[in-house]
Structure 1
């Protein structure tokens, strides 16, 4: 049998080496991501309650859990609230992040460094710590917000229970999510702004274009890919917001701050209906995927490409 040259064998071995190095990461990702997703899909198709969790032998019921879920009026109220929560947060985040990024671009070196440092520190704060800070800020007796409003002449806010009123709790959560999300979006958009050639700005100013016209005709078209990427990430992160809501309000008062991830956990833990909770999680994934697909279709249509 003819033997292959040693150089050929070495090249083949070298070609397989990167795949061997990447294999542990890929296998770990499959175990941590794909397996839980497949397990959740399986549970959503079974009669899986506390008894089945302890004893096993869950019965396969097909799409019955999805039928129960989709015929529940409370579920659709939560869906509408989820999309409202997502829309309000994403619009505010992208608007404020764009303004902050434009501000950073126009600052001097020292002020730019100070603002970027502040954004990084705000972004690095753990979610639980930030949520706890907001709880204390709006505490009915010891919160600085009530104290400040009272001393400004708004006596009606003396010991005002923010978290006992649905619209107030919803607003506080929006402020928290926006405060946590703007730093990442602003820094990313500022990085995109640094790639815009200064010659384009100079040409636009020579032509007499205003600041708004320069942003619409020069800046935004150049940073649009990064803007769209940040937008899609914020949609995902806002849609699946759970920790802040669970720690601050548990979805209350009533259902005022209950969105789909919170609803799924409430259904699984409080009602011990792990099958319905898994079904709600799967519907959440499908809804989020549908939103992103529609968004990307529109984006590619504007770019003149086909999805």
Structure 2
């Protein structure tokens, strides 16, 4: 005896709420009715809204004010009397036709390139060392890196000023003890090269932890089976690095280099605090040059123009670097 059960038509209402292709029991709102889909579409924008508002208020509005200021003749007299004297593009014309600006720009680019190369090279080596160390030594080295990274820039600069002091500095004392008696009272901030040497050591020391720790984190994502396969193929340490480690770390290295270019190029605290751009303004980079021309010489409109030109130079450098990165990615594809 067989019992035949008739299947009832669910009707338009039930058909409208059943999700097509989904498992039984799952449903979605009928078209034209408000539901979770519309709320989900707006949620990302609502979450981004506070960050966008903060960015506009903290970065966008000061940039607009700086742009307006760059078209004004503003010194101490206009500032006290609350006068607004528009001078058009005179500040930009005077800056772009100045040999000092282009000399400082070239110096800033070279300074950035040297620092970024040293940071990436040494940071990569320390990161690979972290991956090779045991757990206890890795923890000890990581704590030291974090402490160096967490030190405020002005505090680290003050420490380096003490280390390289002419009369009572530790560096001169050590060099004198090693037989370099001519370095007993050497003035490290007395020449362009030695001053830049201190600044470079300081910036590299402060930047290595960021590269090393992040690179070590990237190495933990590399599957161990790849190293085992490379070892079975007879690959040595260098071959294993070039065929396994480097391809995995390449995206990280490219992104980190991009960030370091921005960070080093806009470095102000270290350069200014060591010797205020001296001696004879020979160690000024573009951020320090803008500050001295604007605040130091009380040509605030000129300083604003140099600041915006500094941003333009940085954008040009980063866009050129991004073009190289994108071209390499296209070639690999």
Same fold (TM over 0.5): yes
Question: Hey, what's the Cα distance between the residues in 2 that align with 1:89 and 1:21?
Answer: 37
Offset of 1:49 from its aligned partner? 2.2
Q: Does 1:248 align with 2:274?
A: yes
Deviation digits for residues 219-241 of structure 1, max 9, x if unmatched? 11111111111101100000000
Q: Does 1:195 align with 2:208?
A: no
Question: Hey, what's the Cα distance between the residues in 1 that align with 2:122 and 2:307?
Answer: 30
1:273-288 equivalences under 5 Å are 273-288=299-314
Of residues 289, 296, 301 in structure 1, which corresponds to 2:327?
A: 301
Q: Does 1:34 align with 2:34?
A: no
Match of 2:294 in 1: 268
Runs of 4+ in 1 over 4 A off after TM superposition: 9-22
Could you tell me which runs of 5 or more consecutive residues in structure 2 were left unpaired when the two chains were aligned.
Answer: 1-32
Question: Hey, what's the Cα distance between the residues in 2 that align with 1:216 and 1:38?
Answer: 47
Residues 167, 256 of structure 1: 8 Å contact kept: no
Offset of 1:12 from its aligned partner? 6.1
Report which stretch shifted further, 294-303 or 211-220. Answer: 211-220
Relative to total residues, which structure has the larger helix share, 1 or 2? 1
Query: Which is bigger in relative contact order (C-alpha 8 A, separation at least 6)?
Result: 1
Question: Hey, what's the Cα distance between the residues in 1 that align with 2:131 and 2:42?
Answer: 46
Offset of 1:19 from its aligned partner? 5.0
Of residues 233, 238, 256 in structure 1, which corresponds to 2:259?
A: 233
Which structure has the greater CA radius of gyration?
2
Question: Hey, what's the Cα distance between the residues in 2 that align with 1:11 and 1:216?
Answer: 47
Report which stretch shifted further, 252-261 or 215-224. Answer: 215-224
Of residues 130, 136, 142 in structure 2, which corresponds to 1:104?
A: 130
Offset of 1:66 from its aligned partner? 1.1
Match of 2:196 in 1: 170
Match of 2:230 in 1: 204
Match of 2:90 in 1: 64
Match of 2:209 in 1: 183
1:75-224 equivalences under 5 Å are 75-224=101-250
Q: Structure 1 pair 11/193, CA: closer, same or farther in 2 (3 Å)?
A: closer
Match of 1:3 in 2: none
Residues 170, 256 of structure 1: 8 Å contact kept: no
Q: RMSD between aligned alpha carbons?
A: 2.2
Could you tell me which runs of 5 or more consecutive residues in structure 1 were left unpaired when the two chains were aligned.
Answer: 1-6
Residues 90, 235 of structure 1: 8 Å contact kept: yes
Count of residue correspondences: 302
